[in-house]
Amino acid sequence: MVHRMVVQYGQPTDAAVFEERYQEHVRLINEVPGVLRYTLGRPTSRDGEPPATYLVAELDFASAEAMAAAMRTPEWAAAGEGVPVLATGGVSVTFFDVEDVGPRGD
């Protein structure tokens, strides 16, 4: 069973600065051992107003224990150092085991 971390970034005070800094964050996360999958999503508006969430990152690990081990690495520490500066619009993080309950769609 996959263990997932979902990180939601609020609307940044300066989107261009966020994007520039986030590219470095992506590079650092990609160096973290134990990350099986790392995806990004950018919410869109349905009513013309900017969505509260600017960017959603999902990181998959083999298990909660594998995620905990990854979070103890120097690579993880390096990636995390810039988050307070990056997340000017706030950030929320959720962890859970993924339960596959639907069709695969393939």
Whether the CA torsion 10, 42, 24, 92 is positive or negative: it is positive
CA atoms within 13 A of residue 12's CA, in its CB half-sphere = 19
Q: Quick one: pLDDT at residue 103?
A: 84
* Model confidence band, residue 106 (pLDDT cutoffs 50, 70, 90): low
Confirm or reject CATH 3.30.70.100 for domain 3-97, answering yes or no: yes
Calpha distance 69→51 (Å, rounded): 33
Residue 34 has pLDDT above 80, yes or no: yes
Residue 105: pLDDT band by 50, 70, 90 thresholds? low
Mean pLDDT of 12-16: 95
Q: State pLDDT tens for residues 68-93.
A: 999 999 999 999 998 998 999 999 99
Q: Is the pLDDT of residue 97 over 60?
A: yes
